[in-house]
């Protein structure tokens, strides 16, 4: 679709209508989780789990990783601690590869555990809280785009500039995903990270999400098929 500038009030209307679609589809818990996750409350378990999730998700469909993740978590001792993973690295690798046959990604997860154990979680957490984007990009497989995904999942108030949100932002006249989500967040009272997860999930639910979002901004409605 062509690019067009949409006013703030209409952007907010489009977002709120999109959020209703996401809620009606049963993803309210996903939004609530994003709303409540806090960077300053980060635990070692969460850091290991969420970093593994983002590493595995790179270039993969979310539904594929969601299906395999419970078994991968079992292979990594349910993310109990970085030290446990480091001490049993060969067992973790061998077991995880039976579920997800991508050695580089599995070894990257082990490398993250080694780095956390070597640094000490408290020191690592302090560095992440102080500068999440710079610190998290030191991990393998965490690049300039995926770092926003990981930071958001850990509680940073950012949006990830993936293909869905980038297309939505551009279609509405924005060149920057952060600005796009920030303006919506300021208008409706949600956090930037909440706006991100709502719009991302909305895009995964509707193949023609761009046209529908713009239609929403003009007062259009959409009913999910039963």
Q: pLDDT tens across 166-221, in order?
A: 999 998 889 999 999 999 999 999 999 999 999 999 999 988 898 888 887 776 55
Q: pLDDT tens across 151-166, in order?
A: 999 999 999 999 999 9
Q: pLDDT tens across 5-58, in order?
A: 667 888 998 999 999 999 999 999 999 999 999 999 999 999 999 999 999 998
* pLDDT at site 219: 63
**Annotated domain spans of the chain:** 8-36+158-217, 40-154
* pLDDT at site 226: 34
Q: pLDDT tens across 92-124, in order?
A: 999 999 999 999 999 999 999 999 999 999 999
Instruction: Tell me the three-class secondary structure of the chain, residue by residue.
Output: CCCCCCCHHHHHHHHHHHHHHHHHCCCHHHHHHHHHCCHHHCCHHHHHHHHHHHHHHCCCCHHHHHHHHHHHHHHCHHHCCHHHHHHCHHHHHHHHHCCCCCHHHHHHHHHHHHHHHHHCHHHHHHHHHHCHHHHHCCCCCCCCCHHHHHHHHHCCCCCCCCHHHHHHHHHCCCCCHHHHHHHHHHHHCCCHHHHHHHHHHHHHHCCCHHHHHHHHHCCCCCCCCC
Q: For residue 224, name the pLDDT band (cuts at 50, 70, 90).
A: very low
Q: What does pTM read for this prediction?
A: 0.87
């Amino acid at each position: 679709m062509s690019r067009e500038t949409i006013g703030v009030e209409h952007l907010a209307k489009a977002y709120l209508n999109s959020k209703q679609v996401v809620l009606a589809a049963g993803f309210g818990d996903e939004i609530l989780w994003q709303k409540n996750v806090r960077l300053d409350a980060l635990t070692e378990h969460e850091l290991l789990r969420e970093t593994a999730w983002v590493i595995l998700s790179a270039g993969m469909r979310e539904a594929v990783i969601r299906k395999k993740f419970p078994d991968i978590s079992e292979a990594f001792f349910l993310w109990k601690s970085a030290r446990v993973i480091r001490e049993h690295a060969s067992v973790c690798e061998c077991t995880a590869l039976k579920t997800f046959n991508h050695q580089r990604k599995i070894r990257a997860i082990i490398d993250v555990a080694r780095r956390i154990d070597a640094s000490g979680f408290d020191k690592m957490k302090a560095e992440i809280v102080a500068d999440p984007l710079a610190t998290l990009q030191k991990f393998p497989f965490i690049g300039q785009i995926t770092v926003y995904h990981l930071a958001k999942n850990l509680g940073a108030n950012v949006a990830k500039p993936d293909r869905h949100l980038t297309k939505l932002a551009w279609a509405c006249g924005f060149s920057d995903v952060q600005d796009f989500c920030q303006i919506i967040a300021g208008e409706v009272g949600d956090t930037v990270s909440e706006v991100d997860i709502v719009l991302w999930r909305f895009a995964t639910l509707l193949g023609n999400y761009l046209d529908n979002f713009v239609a929403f901004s003009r007062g259009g409605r959409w009913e999910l098929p039963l």
